[in-house]
Chains A and B, each alone.
Chain A
Amino acid sequence: MIKIQNITKTFGKIIALNNISLEIKDNQILGLLGPNGAGKTTLMRIINGFLRQDSGEVFIDGVETNKDEMIEIKKSIGYLPENNPLYEDMNVYEYLEFISNSRKVENFRKRIKEVIEICKLQDVVARNISELSKGFRQRVGFSAAIIHNPKILILDEPTSGLDPNQAQEVKNLISEFKKDKTIILSTHILSEVEEVADYVVIIHKGKIVAEGNIADLNKMVLKNNIIRIAGRFNKDLESFIPTVIRGIYQISLVSESSDGIKEYEIETEKDLDIREDLYSLSVREGWTLVELYKTSASLQDVFRELTRE
């Protein structure tokens, strides 16, 4: 378990992390979400010992980090830094050999072979890292992070800068590897968190503004119901609907196509579902409906709401 207590970190006048506390359970996949510059990278760097906090403590399995350069703790962490820096003048095998020797991986030749297979690097093993495409580079970084089979895996923006296929490959690697592992993953891509993480922490300006699983977070922001209705109407819904259905807060016209199909967004009281009423109303009025659905707030809405300037 990783326990983070009241961590504060400043860089000059900038407060990167402001009194953050967080618990990460074993085998949890934690998604750190936040706009650029929110403090995600700083938090990850403090956990893995690259940076030192100004105040507060981090405990990994009960051991406080930042003691004696935390050599023992570093052994159980695999880390893929943001932008994935690599030694450009080495070939892939040399690089993996350096990392596995540094981490004292037993039977390292066999293990290098294994990670090369897992990360599908067979074709580029002898290539210089400087010649690799971004997708391959990311896989090299990932294989270096897992080569010692770490208990904790910290991935800082593992899919940034990759095309959708490459990003999917990295996500597949994460899912493949997640068994019996604690994974901390930072990103500003929301769908990624929804796909991979089972617990989400949203950081904004160095503070945790929300945490929980995705359903919890949705509830936090989704205060009202929103219904969307589209079709051909012979009345102006904005003035008409509130006179026949109760509990309506607001109706607004979202779009109108050239062939006369209008789309409205209707905001109602929480826990009120007016879809049946709307359907009966359309039948009665002779409207042609093309769409009628209830929207749920996406993580994106949660994110926007919480990190609004």
Chain B
Amino acid sequence: MDKNNVFSIIKKELRLYFNSPIAYIVVFIFLLLSGFFYSRPLFVYGYVTLRHYFDLLPLFLLFFVPAITMRIFSEEYKTGTIEIIYTLPFRKIEILLGKYISSISVVIFGLLFTLIYPISLIFLGKLDIGMTIAGYIGVLMLVVFYTSVGLFSSSLTKNQIVSFVITFFILFIFFILGKLGMFVGDLASYIGIDLHFDNFVRGIVDVRDIVYFLSLSFLFLYFTYLSIQKEK
């Protein structure tokens, strides 16, 4: 694997994201919604905490991440540029990684703006910094996992809407399993997102939770790799 090739693809993808209005619009809407849920507890109840914001983030990202990732392969299939990228001297794994890293970067770019929430809270009251950092590590884990699913869905279809829906559907299963944990049993709740993400939000960085997110991400990246080996 040649890291210059990966870098070349990252650069191209970021350019395409930021040359078109889609990334800005999606980030803007995301910030608008998350800003509302951040500021409500603060101004209505006077709590200095990011709990509510973190609690809702898995749900927000369920919409935000697929909106970012849906184009990553689908658009290339649709416009035919996939033929350009596959006939350049790249390995498929380099293309996969380049696209993955660039999508994560765009999502993180959007989330960077939300750092204004904890920073403002430091001035407004006594914020638990350790807990916040743990929370953000959890957010990063979510992003890494969600994006891998988004990449996989996009590699399946040339239709961006379908790609969005598949990502949403797969992630929703992981999301809802966590919520229904008490009804559907321990295994389901272990597979679900909540159990693992909640630890981060409560300030606990457990290696097992990191392993959970990273192994799921790896699994979906592997599925994507298999998917792009097949001719479309």
Contacts and interface: CB of A to CB of B under 8 A. Distances in A.
Interface of A: 45, 48-52, 69, 71-72, 74-75, 77, 79, 81, 83, 85-90, 94, 98-99, 101-104, 144
A7 to B, nearest CB: 15
A5 B79 CA distance: 32
Given A69-B91, A69-B92, A102-B88, A87 B12 contact: yes
B16 A89 contact: yes
B80 A83 contact: yes
9 nearest CB pairs, A to B? A85-B80, A74-B89, A89-B19, A81-B83, A85-B81, A89-B20, A102-B88, A75-B89, A98-B12
B5 interface: yes
A103 B89 contact: yes
Contact of A85 (B8, B12, B83): B83
A280 to B, nearest CB: 62
B86 interface: yes
Contacts of B89: 71-72, 74-75, 102-103
Interface string B56-97: 000000000000000000000001110110111111100000
A87 B81 contact: yes
Contact of A90 (B15, B83, B91): B15
Interface of B: 4-5, 8-9, 11-12, 15-16, 19-20, 79-81, 83-84, 86-92, 231
A104 B91 CA distance: 14
A85 B79 contact: yes
27 contacts: A49-B87, A50-B86, A52-B231, A69-B92, A71-B89, A74-B88, A74-B89, A77-B87, A79-B83, A81-B83, A81-B84, A83-B80, A85-B83, A85-B84, A86-B84, A87-B12, A88-B79, A89-B16, A98-B8, A98-B11, A99-B84, A102-B5, A102-B89, A102-B90, A103-B88, A103-B89, A144-B84
Nearest to B90: A102
Contacts of A51: 231
A104 B4 contact: yes
Nearest to B84: A85
Contacts of B81: 85-87
Contacts of A87: 12, 16, 81, 84
Given A45-B83, A50-B87, 20 more contacts: A48-B87, A49-B87, A50-B83, A71-B89, A81-B80, A83-B80, A85-B79, A85-B84, A86-B84, A87-B12, A88-B79, A90-B15, A90-B16, A98-B15, A99-B88, A102-B9, A102-B12, A103-B88, A104-B4, A144-B84
B19 to A, nearest CB: 4
Nearest to A78: B87
Nearest to B88: A102
B225 to A, nearest CB: 12
A159 to B, nearest CB: 18
Contacts of B5: 102
